[in-house]
Amino acid sequence: VVKQLASLTGSPADESIKTLAEALGVLQHHDAVAGTSKQHVADDYYLMLTKGVDNARGLLSKGFSYFTGNDESTEFTYCPLLNISSCSYLEGKTSFVVNVYNSIGRPKSFYVRVPVEESTTYTVQDQQGNYLDSQVVPLPDQIVNLPGRTSTANFDLVFYAQDIPALGALQYLVEVAAEESTNKRSSILSNIKEIINGKDTVVENKKVKLTLDGDTNKLKRIGIKRNHESVTEQESWATFNFTQDYKWYKGMNGGNSNPDDRASGAYIFRPDGYSQEITDQVNATVFEDKNYVEIEWLVGPIPVDDDVGKEIINYFEFEEFITNNTFYTDANGRELQKRIKDYRETWDLPLDDEPVSRNYYPVTAQFVINSVNGQGSAAVLNDRAQGGTSLGDGQIELMVHRRLLHDDAFGVGEALNEQAYGVGLVARGRHLVLHSDSATSDCDFGCQRRTLAEEILLQPIITFSDPSTFTTVTKSGLSAPLPDNIHLLTLEPWSSSGTWLLRLENFYEVNESSLSESVDVDLESLFSEWTVSNIRELVLGANAYKEDVVRLRWNSQSEVEEEKKEEKVKVSEAVYSFSPMQIRTFLIDVTSEIKRDIK
Query: What pLDDT, in 10s, does the model give residues 416-428?
Result: 999 999 999 999 9
pLDDT of the residue at 570: 63
- 1-75 and 201-438 have identical folds: no
- Averaged pLDDT, 502-515: 92
Q: Which CATH architecture has domain 486-547+565-592?
A: Sandwich (2.60)
The residues that bridge with 310 in the sheet, in sequence order, are 250, 403
Question: Is residue 316 a contact partner of residue 433, using CB atoms and an 8 Å limit?
Answer: yes
C-alpha distances out from residue 595 to 12, 63, 529, 592, 598, Å = 16, 16, 10, 7, 10
Report, as an integer, the average pLDDT of 155-168: 94
Strands 188-189 and 134-138: parallel
Alpha carbon distance 219, 326 (integer Å): 24
Place 192 in a pLDDT band, splitting at 50, 70 and 90: low
The 10s digit of each residue's pLDDT in 244-271 is 999 999 999 988 888 888 999 999 999 9
Within its chain, how far is the Cα of 245 from the centroid? 21
Going by C-alpha positions, the residue among 431, 435, 430, 381 that lies closest to residue 241 is 435
Mean pLDDT across the chain: 88
DSSP for residue 570: B
Return the CATH fold of 201-438: Beta-galactosidase; Chain A, domain 5 (2.70.98)
C-alpha 163/C-alpha 325 separation (Å) is 40
Taken in order 356, 357, 361, 363, the sign of the CA dihedral is: positive
Ranges of each domain in the chain: 1-75, 201-438, 486-547+565-592
pTM: 0.90
Q: What pLDDT, in 10s, does the model give residues 478-499? A: 999 999 999 999 999 997 778 9
Instruction: Report CA torsion sign: 248, 250, 256, 257.
Output: negative
Please name the amino acid found at residue 536.
R
**Per-residue DSSP letters for 90-134?**
GTT-SEEEEEEEE-SSS-EEEEEEEEES----EEEE-TTSPBPPE
Rounded distance between C-alpha atoms, residue 429 and residue 427, angstroms = 7
Pick the CATH number of 1-75 from 3.30.1360.120, 3.40.50.720, 1.20.1270.50, 1.10.3430.10: 1.20.1270.50
Over 70: is that where the pLDDT of 235 sits?
no
Euclidean distance between CA atoms 401 and 563, whole angstroms? 49
Instruction: Give the CA radius of gyration of the chain.
Output: 26
Q: What percent of the chain has pLDDT over 90?
A: 67
- Asked whether residue 28 carries a pLDDT value surpassing 50, the answer given is yes
Range of weakest confidence among 100-104, 112-116, 138-142:
138-142
Over residues 428-444, the mean pLDDT reads 90
Three-class SS state of 5: helix
Cα–Cα distance, 270 to 408 (Å, whole number): 10
Which three-class secondary structure state does DSSP give residue 49? helix
Whether the pLDDT of residue 187 is over 70: the answer is: no
Q: DSSP secondary structure string, 498-537?
A: TEEEEEEEE-PPTTSSTT-S-EEEESTT-BSSEEEEEEEE
How many CA atoms within 13 Å lie on the side-chain side of 83? 12
Instruction: Let me know: does 243 contact 308? Beta carbons within 8 Å.
Output: no
- pLDDT at residue 197, as a whole number: 73
pLDDT tens readout for residues 63-98: 999 999 999 889 999 999 999 999 999 999 999 999
